[in-house]
Structure 1
Amino acid sequence: MKALLKDLPTLTAPIVGETLILYLAVSKEAVSYVLVVERGDAQMPIYFVSNALSGSEYFQAHPITVLTDQPIRQLLYKPEISGRLTKWAIELGKQEIAYCARSAIKGQVMADYLAETVADMPVICDPEQLLMPSPELWELYTDGVAEKTPASSEDAGAGQILTGPHREEHIYALRFNFKVTNNEAEYEALLAGMRIARELGVKKLQAYVDSQLVANQINGTFDANDKSMQSYLALVHSLADTFVDFRISQIPRSQNKQADVLNKLAALSFNHLEKKILVEQVFKKSTELETTVASVEEEEATWMTNIIEFLQTGSLPEGEKEAMKIRVKAPNYELRGESLYRQSYLGASQRCVGPKEAAMIIDEIHKGSCGLHSGLKTVTERIKRLGYYWSQMYADTVERIRVFQECQLHAPVSRAPQHTMIPITSSWMFCK
Structure 2
Amino acid sequence: MKEHLGKPPILSKPTTGEVLSLYLEVSEHAVSSVLVREENKVQLPVYYTSKCLLDTEMRYPQMEKLALVLVVTSRKLCHYFQVHSIQVLTNHRLRQVLQKPDTSKRLLKWSIELSQFDIDYKPQIAIKGQALAEFVAEFMGVPDEAKVVGGPLKWKLYVDGSSNDNDFGAGLVLHTPEGHKITSAVRFEFPASNNEVEYDALLAGLRLTEHLKVEAIDIFSNSQLVVNQVKGQYQTRDEKMAAYLKKVKKALEKLTAYDIQQVSRAENSNAEALARLATSNDAELLKLVPVEALKAPSTKGKLKVMSMSCQPSWRDPIIRYLVDSELPEDKQQAKKLKGQSLAYKVLRKGYYWPDLKKEVAEYAKKREGCQRYALIPQQHSEDLTSIVTPWPFAKWGIDLIGPLHKTPGGYKYTIVAIDYFMKWVEAEPLTTISEEKCIHKNFFSIVYPQSNGQVKAMPKRQLDSYKGKWADELPKVLWAYRTTSRTTKGETTFSMGYGVEAVLPVEISIPTSRVIWYEEGVGMVS
- Structure 2-normalised TM-score? 0.43
Instruction: Please say if 1:143 is aligned against 2:156.
Output: no
Q: Which residue of 2 aligns with 1:62?
A: 84
Secondary structure in structure 2 of the residue aligned to 1:57:
helix
- 1:171 aligned to which of 171, 181, 184: 184
Instruction: Please say if 1:95 is aligned against 2:104.
Output: no
Q: Which residue of 2 aligns with 1:382?
A: 377
What is the correspondence of 1:262-301 to structure 2 with a 5 Å cutoff? 262-267=274-279, 269-271=281-283, 274-279=286-291, 293-297=303-307, 299-300=310-311
Deviations 1:252-282 (A, max 9, x none): 3332111122334555653476411334677
What is the correspondence of 1:14-163 to structure 2 with a 5 Å cutoff? 14=15, 16-22=16-22, 36-40=36-40, 56-58=78-80, 60=82, 62-66=84-88, 73=95, 75-99=97-121, 101=124, 103-104=127-128, 106=130, 139-147=156-164, 157-163=169-175
- 2:195 aligned to which of 175, 179, 183: 183
- Using CA pairs under 8 Å that are at least 6 residues apart, name the structure with larger relative contact order, 1 or 2: 1
Asked if the contact 2:85–2:118 (Cα under 8 Å) also holds between the matched residues in 1, the reply is: yes
Instruction: Please say if 1:305 is aligned against 2:317.
Output: no
Question: 1:194 and 1:46 mapped to 2: Cα distance?
Answer: 45
Instruction: Please say if 1:255 is aligned against 2:272.
Output: no
Secondary structure in structure 2 of the residue aligned to 1:189:
helix
Greater Rg, structure 1 or structure 2? 2
Q: Percent identity?
A: 31
- 2:221 aligned to which of 187, 204, 209: 209
- 2:233 aligned to which of 190, 206, 221: 221
Deviations 1:285-307 (A, max 9, x none): 667x78x7441325245342344
Asked if the contact 1:142–1:209 (Cα under 8 Å) also holds between the matched residues in 2, the reply is: yes
Amino acid at match of 1:86: L
Amino acid at match of 1:318: E
Please provide the CA RMSD for this pair: 5.4
Question: 1:184 and 1:8 mapped to 2: Cα distance?
Answer: 61
* Structure 2, unpaired ranges of 5+: 52-71, 142-151, 345-356, 360-370, 381-526
Deviations 1:223-253 (A, max 9, x none): 134x3xx412312322542451265332233
Shift of the 326–267 alpha-carbon distance from structure 1 to 2, 3 Å rule, reads same
Shift of the 261–37 alpha-carbon distance from structure 1 to 2, 3 Å rule, reads closer
Q: Which residue of 2 aligns with 1:231?
A: 240
Which stretch shifts more, 81-90 or 193-202?
A: 193-202
Q: CA deviation at 1:197?
A: 5.2
Q: Which residue of 2 aligns with 1:390?
A: none
Asked if the contact 1:273–1:279 (Cα under 8 Å) also holds between the matched residues in 2, the reply is: no
What is the correspondence of 1:271-420 to structure 2 with a 5 Å cutoff? 271=283, 274-279=286-291, 293-297=303-307, 299-300=310-311, 302=316, 303-310=318-325, 316-323=327-334, 325=337, 380-382=375-377
Q: CA deviation at 1:214?
A: 1.5
Q: CA deviation at 1:217?
A: 1.3
* Structure 1, unpaired ranges of 5+: 113-124, 130-134, 333-343, 347-375, 386-432
Shift of the 95–276 alpha-carbon distance from structure 1 to 2, 3 Å rule, reads same
Question: 1:283 and 1:41 mapped to 2: Cα distance?
Answer: 53
Asked if the contact 1:64–1:96 (Cα under 8 Å) also holds between the matched residues in 2, the reply is: yes
Question: 1:65 and 1:162 mapped to 2: Cα distance?
Answer: 39
Q: Which residue of 2 aligns with 1:396?
A: none
Question: 2:303 and 2:77 mapped to 1: Cα distance?
Answer: 53
Kindly tell me the number of residue pairs found equivalent between the two proteins.
305
Asked if the contact 2:185–2:291 (Cα under 8 Å) also holds between the matched residues in 1, the reply is: yes
Question: 1:83 and 1:46 mapped to 2: Cα distance?
Answer: 32
Question: 2:248 and 2:283 mapped to 1: Cα distance?
Answer: 31
Q: CA deviation at 1:169?
A: 0.5
